[in-house]
A = this chain, B = another copy of it.
Amino acid sequence: MHLDKINRKILSILQQEARITNQQLAERVGLSPSSCLNRVKKLEEQELIGPYLGVLRMEKLCRSVTVIVTVSLKDQSTDSFRAFEKAARDIPEVVECYTVSGTFDFFMRIVAPDMLRYNQINDQLLDINPGMVNLSSHVVLNTDKPFRGYPLEQLLED
């Protein structure tokens, strides 16, 4: 994937200020609005960027509990993994899930209204493959650095 300087700048700005107007974006990257819009459209068509998300401030919106869960499956079969991935996708409170190498099989982030509801979800996950799922819960005490995008300068080649 080759990107010129302007496209990098567009992605970098759009990554952090998704609701910027095309006119402002054009000005900041030094293009006319129409060619800037053409580039944005192309970047979206190529699916290099999108969707666009509004970050909700949960702490101001309502009480909630965030838990990071490590998962180990005793049964290392494909079916067992598939079942777990499906559960992650189907439970709305599981807001993200990764398959990893190392000591664990999955990491999940779960956001629930309270511990009672979290406990239900925990039980639901244990029931997927009874006796074969090992969960460890870590309640989030503080978000030291919230996700605000990727470090493009470090990641893109010259």
Spell out A's residues near B (CB within 8 Å): 1, 3, 11, 14-19, 46-58, 60-62, 64, 66, 68, 70, 85, 88-89, 92-104, 106-107, 109, 111-113, 117, 136-157
Contact = CB atoms under 8 A, between A and B. Distances in A.
B102 A137 contact: yes
Q: Can you tell how many copies of this chain the complex includes?
A: 2
Contacts of A48: 56-57, 60-61
B144 A106 contact: yes
B62 A111 contact: no
Contact of A142 (B3, B16, B98): B98
A50 B61 CA distance: 12
A147 B99 CA distance: 14
A150 B111 contact: yes
Contacts of A49: 54-57
Contacts of A95: 145, 147-151
19 contacts: A16-B54, A18-B18, A48-B56, A49-B57, A50-B55, A51-B148, A52-B52, A52-B53, A53-B53, A53-B149, A62-B156, A68-B98, A68-B107, A94-B145, A97-B145, A98-B142, A107-B138, A113-B154, A147-B147
Nearest to A95: B147
